[in-house]
Amino acid sequence: MENAVSAESEIAAERAEVSHGQRCRHIVPVILAGGSGTRLWPISREQFPKQLVGVIGRDSLLQATVTRMEGFAGDFEVDNRPIIVCGEEHRFATEEQARLCGVAAKIIVEPARRDTAPALTLAALAAMDHDDDAIIVAMPSDHSIADIPALHRAIALAADYADRGMIVTLGVPPTRPDTGFGYIRIGEALDGGAHLIDRFVEKPAAELAAQYVAANTYWWNSGIFIVRASVWLGALAKLNGDMYTACAAAIKDGKSDESLIRPCPLQFGRVPSDSIDYAVMEHIGGAESPCKGVVVPLAAGWSDLGSWDAVWQAMEKDGLGNVACGRVVFEGATSSYARAEGGRLVACVGTSNVVVVETDDAVLVADRSHAQDIKALVARIRAQHAPEAETHRKVRRPWGFYDSIERGERFQVKRIVVAPGARLSLQMHHHRAEHWVVVRGTALVTRGEEQFLLSENESTFIPLGVRHRLENPGKVQLEIIEVQSGAYLGEDDIVRLDDCYGRI
């Protein structure tokens, strides 16, 4: 195994050294979309995290990121097919949201979560296959950036340095002490306001964060990286040969087509978990450094939206510092954030520095100064095996969605909406029976050996253990009410026999 690691590492390093003397004017946007966003609970949940939600505006954070390089001008040509790295559980929602933006993205589906360094490595390997050696602009999918032209100017400068074989990150000059961000200590000044990277710094305590801001030599780490694919792979091969080798094997032994890359689960299971900062960036600039690191200033209204306090910071406020989303009324409130998602009215009277977030099935009330503690709260909810930690009441599927309207002992009521032309898997259940009532559209039902149509106000019964399928053959949405009854009603009591979405 050690010989294999050494050989693979040498190949990657040689590839990087050869490419340093060449010029690359091609940019491939890479979007890292594998996070869970627990600090934005209850809007963000394990099965539908914050990058898929419209946290700031109508578009989701992912959609805003997918279109972020549009209109980029300069000496670099930007590929109109970004690479998006996401998990299996978010694949269909990611594809759909990119499609709604008019973007034909290349999706890399990670078999397991391994943090940002393996995700970027998979993308770099894919970019090498596509372009030989493109410049990657790697962007987390959960950030907010107000000034896109300013972002483009920073990326253009960063790409010039990346083209010379350096690993570049965008640093944000801090506007306040903040314990929620990592910091970069800037080194020697370069052209265009850039600096060599002196070192990366962990998220500091409040007192240390204040010292960093006062020193004027520390910038926030934006998590946006610009680097040639070969340079990243060469640096990783020298610093973490096991990660490089396992990722390369996962791509080589995986499956791919025009729109989807599936790394080999067995090979990817050998990939160590690590972040971009820990795996590579903290080693840049030292005696063993494989290349130089550069930080370019980004003054573009950036926020990583890592907490509800960060969301409040990023949004427009009223005269008393309040932010309202949805049906919200403030009376005598100051510096508060309130969001109504479930359709109910949220009223805040005399509140100060609080966060109130209401959804169909949960309500969060928190002090803004304790917004980082929500991650621990979600861990406690998950330990209680409460479904609110994992899913919303409304659950999206590749064929549409279902909404769990009511649940009690031995029964559950769902509203199921199937898109035109879509169909559920052919399936059966060991522990529950189902009653279906069509309230809109026409349903094509498979039940055992039967197949028949149901129109509005018609119903059918699916006995326990009988294979069945629901399809929408029409041109309008199909909407049914499903009543489940039985000893166990969990979603894992689904035995898929055939599925056009590959979920068997």
Q: Encode pLDDT of 251-287 as tens digits.
A: 999 999 888 999 999 999 999 999 999 999 988 876 6
How far is CA 31 from each of CA 15, 55, 81, rounded to the nearest angstrom? 24, 18, 11
CATH fold, domain 2-306, is Spore Coat Polysaccharide Biosynthesis Protein SpsA; Chain A (3.90.550)
Neighbouring-strand partners of residue 45: 48
- Report whether pLDDT(130) > 70: no
> CA 415 to CA 190: how far, in whole Å?
59
The stretch 95-114 carries a mean pLDDT of 93
> CA 158 to CA 137: how far, in whole Å?
9
pTM across the whole model: 0.87
The stretch 22-38 carries a mean pLDDT of 84
pLDDT tens digits for 424-444?
999 999 999 999 999 999 999
Please list the residue range(s) of the chain that carry CATH number 3.90.550.10: 2-306
> CA 257 to CA 88: how far, in whole Å?
16
> CA 136 to CA 156: how far, in whole Å?
12
Mean pLDDT lowest among 34-48, 220-234, 241-255: 34-48
Tell me the CATH number for domain 394-498: 2.60.120.10
Cβ–Cβ contacts within 10 Å for residue 103, how many? 17
Mean pLDDT lowest among 5-14, 57-66, 164-173: 5-14
- CB within 8 A of 402, min separation 6: which ones? 394, 395, 414, 415, 416, 417, 482
How would residue 75 be classed by pLDDT, with cut points 50, 70 and 90? confident
The stretch 82-88 carries a mean pLDDT of 95
- Report whether pLDDT(32) > 80: yes
Looking at residue 21, its pLDDT comes to 47
Looking at residue 286, its pLDDT comes to 62
251, 126 Cβ separation under 8 angstroms: yes
Looking at residue 24, its pLDDT comes to 58
How would residue 71 be classed by pLDDT, with cut points 50, 70 and 90? very high
- Report whether pLDDT(1) > 60: no
pLDDT tens digits for 354-389?
999 999 999 999 999 999 899 999 999 999 989 899
How far is CA 69 from each of CA 50, 172, 203, 441, rounded to the nearest angstrom? 21, 19, 29, 40
| Percent of residues, the chain, with pLDDT higher than 70 | 94
| Nearest of 305, 343, 358, 322 to residue 43 by alpha carbon | 358
User: What is the identity of the amino acid at 476?
Assistant: V
Looking at residue 85, its pLDDT comes to 97
The stretch 230-237 carries a mean pLDDT of 95
pLDDT tens digits for 437-485?
999 999 999 999 999 999 999 999 999 999 999 999 999 999 999 999 9
Complete DSSP assignment for 159-222: HHHHHTT-EEEEEE--SS--TTS-EEEEEEE-GGG-EEEEEEEPPPPHHHHHHHHHHT-EEEEE
Looking at residue 11, its pLDDT comes to 45
Please list the residue range(s) of the chain that carry CATH number 2.60.120.10: 394-498
